[in-house]
């Protein structure tokens, strides 16, 4: 099935099997998202992509596009919801951007800038989280993990390795590593893996590759995430 739907009053085409967010992206319309990535199975956990489809709120990354749908994404209410969700992600982890190698190239930060987030609104949790620096080439900093599940999907579906999983619920939710010691160094991961490059935040970093670009020249210094996301090809980096 294919045909057209409308999003914010604009009529756009969609292809068989496309989600609402992908149909929008192909038509040059940005819907904010963090756990979605073109070429990956949808996960639907961050809820940033929430839109109205025929009057009901749903996740644009999991909802199939269908003929004559009326999608509404750009409203003050949805923008406010997205801002609050992003602020929750900031206070639930430990995000000290000035000392993070990902700063300037981080999608969480990019979305927050796009939403003009100036404060974190909520009280901070300051949860106690570990840094796993055991691997010679890859750093895993749990302080910055937003549980988007992209590394899990990358390792399982692209690398065929199943290095990561998300365990626990609610406040006890955490990213776990598939190895006897639970450490990255004893897992099957290697630096060429897709799973090392897909993290939207600074939770998974390749060692000795940080701070390559000075402040002012980094990705989101130069471009809004709305442009960057639209220029993204399936399986392409960033």
Partner 1 sequence: MSNKIKIATTSLAGCFGCHMSFLDIDERITALAEVVEFDRSPLTDIEHCGPCDIGLIEGGVCNSENVHVLREFRKNCKVLVAVGACAINGGLPALRNFVSVEACLLEAYRDGIGVDNPQIPNDPELPLLLDKVHPIHEIVKVDYFMPGCPPSADVFWTFLSALIEGREPSLPYELVHYD
Residues that bind ligand FES (CB under 6 A): 33-36, 44-49, 59, 61
As measured in angstroms, the least distance from the Cβ of 149 to partner 1 is: 24
**Residue from 46, 138, 175, 184 that binds ligand SF4 (CB under 6 A)?**
175
Give the binding range for ligand SF4 (CB under 6 A) out of 15-23, 129-137, 149-157, 179-187.
149-157
Taking the complex as a whole, the smallest distance from the CB of residue 46 to partner 1 amounts, in Å, to 19
Helices (H), 27-177: 76-92, 107-114, 150-153
Closest approach of Cβ 182 to ligand SF4, in Å? 15
Q: In this complex, which beta carbon is closest to partner 1, that of residue 52 or of residue 113? A: 113
**Whether 166 contacts 149, CB under 8 Å:** yes
The distance of closest approach from Cβ of residue 97 to partner 1 in the complex, given in angstroms and rounded to an integer, is: 4
171-192 burial by CB neighbour count: b if 16+ within 10 A, else e?
A: eeeebebbeeeeebeebebeee
Structure tokens at 117: 């987030």
- Residue numbers 122-181 binding partner 1 by CB under 8 A: 123-124, 126, 128
Helical axes 76-92 vs 107-114, angle rounded to 10°: 140
Q: What is the DSSP letter of 179?
A: S
Comparison of 25 and 43: residue with beta carbon closer to ligand SF4: 43
Residue 212's Cβ-count burial label (10 Å; 0-12, 13-18, 19+) is: exposed
User: 100 or 146, CB closer to partner 1?
Assistant: 100
Q: Does 120 sit near partner 1 (CB under 8 A)?
A: yes
Whole-angstrom CA distances from 172 to 122, 140, 162 are: 19, 18, 21
Which of partner 1, ligand SF4, ligand FES, none is residue 151 near (CB under 5 to 8 Å by kind)?
A: ligand SF4
Q: Which stretch binds partner 1 (CB under 8 A): 34-42, 92-100, 134-142, 150-158?
A: 92-100
**Token pair for 120:** 């974190």
Please, what is the minimum distance in Å from the beta carbon of residue 79 to partner 1?
A: 14
Answer yes or no whether residue 150 interacts with ligand SF4 by CB under 6 A. yes
* DSSP letters for 210-224: ---S-TTSSHHHHS-
* DSSP structure class, residue 231: T
- 2-41 residues near ligand SF4, rule: CB under 6 A: none
Asked if residues 198 and 146 have their Cβ atoms less than 8 Å apart, the reply is no
Note the residues at the interface with ligand SF4 (CB under 6 A).
95-97, 100, 102-103, 106, 108-109, 144-151, 175, 198-199, 201-204
């Amino acid at each position: 099935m294919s045909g057209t739907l409308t999003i914010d009053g604009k009529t756009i085409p969609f292809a068989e099997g496309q989600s609402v967010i992908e149909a929008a992206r192909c038509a040059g319309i940005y819907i904010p998202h963090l756990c979605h990535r073109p070429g990956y199975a949808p996960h639907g956990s961050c809820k940033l992509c929430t839109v109205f489809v025929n009057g009901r709120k749903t996740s644009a990354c999991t909802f199939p596009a269908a003929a004559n749908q009326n999608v509404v994404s750009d409203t003050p209410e949805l923008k406010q919801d997205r801002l609050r969700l992003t602020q929750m992600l900031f206070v639930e982890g430990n995000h000290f951007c000035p000392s993070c190698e990902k700063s300037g190239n981080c999608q969480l930060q990019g979305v927050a800038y796009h939403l003009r987030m100036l404060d974190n609104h909520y009280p901070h949790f300051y949860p106690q989280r570990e840094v796993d620096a055991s691997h010679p080439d890859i750093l895993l900093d749990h302080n910055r993990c937003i549980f988007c599940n992209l590394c899990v999907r990358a390792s399982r579906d692209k690398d065929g390795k199943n290095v990561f999983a998300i365990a626990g619920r609610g406040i006890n939710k955490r990213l776990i590593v598939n190895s006897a010691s639970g450490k990255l160094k004893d897992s099957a991961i290697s630096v060429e893996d897709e799973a090392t490059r897909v993290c939207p935040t600074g939770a998974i970093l390749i060692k000795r590759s940080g701070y390559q670009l000075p402040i002012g020249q980094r990705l989101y210094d130069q471009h809004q995430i709305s442009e960057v996301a639209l220029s993204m090809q399936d399986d392409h980096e960033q």
